[in-house]
């Protein structure tokens, strides 16, 4: 018996299945690095994070304050720089966007047991849930610095407890992604042609869904921003946090920062789409020449609709 046949016989079926899936996933990554899709997506997300981080800081501080009479003009009274926590935001958001996109492109045609009409939404939810394992620690560090719970990102990292807000992260993102994609499908705003009308429609939908899911974002901000030590924890869970907010601050407190969040999400779609289109048009040749040599030259068939799926995911 040949060496290859012996290896095939000795490898358990479950392990062989996992190896095949990992190889297929890595092939997907190599394809979209070589064709410039992933680098372009990374640059587009980096652009939106840089431009909108001050608004994100403003929103986070609004949501974190427990004063019922707090006004937007007094949120920055303690002289917090608007770009505080930016390194954690970049290290979290840029890889998260690339990772969730790769998983989405990999899964959307590999879920045969799910009806075709729900396959894209299912793939998006799974990819976002897995990618949240990367994003959550960086979001925790960013929020602790933005809300002055910790003085710097390195201190927020050393404190630990960075996954204490994972449930709150999923509780916010899963309903947001479900509602966003469902509305996009219902209104047929999929940006396949990436025209201005489709982009504006997607941005408006993102802003509307952001307002509806804002209570979940407030809970996430409060849970993630608190110190990790049990003695200083104000909220034991997302459910406890929501109940405490309603009891002591009222239902309206769950909509703190709703307007900045809606503006952020809508503007994020516009900036991401604009930056992606510009990079694809003017920077794709440079990216391909720079990055393609770093990736294996194995010939892999490129999925036909990978490019159109990028903006549909955002």
CB within 8 A of 112, min separation 6: which ones? none
What is the model's pLDDT at position 186? 53
- What is the per-residue burial (b if ≥16 Cβ within 10 Å, else e) of 110-140? eeeeeeeeebbbbbbbbbbbebbebbbbbbb
Domain segments of the chain as ranges? 15-66+77-298
> What are φ and ψ of residue 233, in 5° steps?
-75, 130
Q: Which of 55-64, 98-107, 178-187 bottoms out in mean pLDDT, i.e. has the lowest? A: 178-187
Please state which CATH number belongs to domain 15-66+77-298.
1.50.40.10
CA separation for the pair 220, 98 (Å, rounded): 23
Contact status, residue 301 vs residue 65, Cβ threshold 8 Å = no
- The per-residue pLDDT for 10 is 53
Residues 96-120 have a mean pLDDT of 80
| pLDDT value of residue 86 | 95
Work out the mean pLDDT of the chain and round it to a whole number: 78
* CA distance linking residue 198 with residue 205, whole number of Å: 11
- Residue 188, pLDDT > 50, answer no
Question: pLDDT tens, 32-58?
Answer: 777 777 888 888 899 999 999 999 999
Q: Is the pTM of this model over 0.85?
A: no
């Amino acid at each position: 018996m040949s060496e290859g046949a012996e290896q095939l016989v000795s490898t358990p079926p479950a392990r062989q299945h996992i190896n095949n899936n990992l190889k297929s996933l890595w092939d997907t990554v190599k394809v979209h690095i070589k064709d410039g899709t992933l680098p372009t997506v990374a640059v587009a997300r980096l652009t939106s994070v840089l431009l909108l981080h001050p608004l994100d800081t403003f929103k986070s501080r609004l949501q974190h304050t427990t004063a019922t009479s707090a006004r937007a003009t007094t949120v920055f009274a303690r002289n917090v720089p608007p770009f505080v926590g930016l390194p954690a935001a970049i290290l979290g958001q840029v890889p998260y966007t690339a990772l969730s996109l790769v998983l989405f492109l990999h899964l959307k045609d590999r879920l045969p047991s799910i009806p075709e009409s729900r396959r894209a939404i299912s793939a998006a939810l799974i990819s976002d849930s897995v990618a949240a394992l990367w994003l959550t620690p960086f979001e925790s560090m960013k929020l602790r610095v933005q809300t002055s719970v910790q003085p710097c990102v390195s201190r927020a990292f050393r404190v630990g407890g960075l996954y204490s807000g994972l449930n709150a992260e999923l509780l916010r993102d899963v309903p947001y992604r479900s509602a966003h994609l469902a509305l996009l499908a219902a209104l047929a705003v999929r940006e396949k042609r990436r025209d201005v009308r489709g982009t504006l429609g997607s941005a408006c939908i993102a802003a509307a869904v952001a307002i509806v899911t804002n209570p979940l974002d407030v809970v996430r901000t409060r849970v993630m921003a608190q110190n990790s030590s049990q003695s200083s924890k104000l909220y034991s869970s997302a459910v406890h946090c929501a109940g405490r907010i309603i009891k002591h601050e009222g239902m309206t407190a769950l909509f703190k920062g709703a307007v900045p969040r809606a503006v952020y999400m809508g503007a994020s779609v516009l900036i991401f789409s604009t930056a992606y289109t510009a990079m694809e048009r003017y920077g794709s040749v440079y990216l391909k020449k720079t990055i393609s040599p770093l990736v294996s030259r194995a010939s892999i068939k490129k999925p036909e609709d990978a490019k159109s799926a990028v903006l549909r995911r955002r």
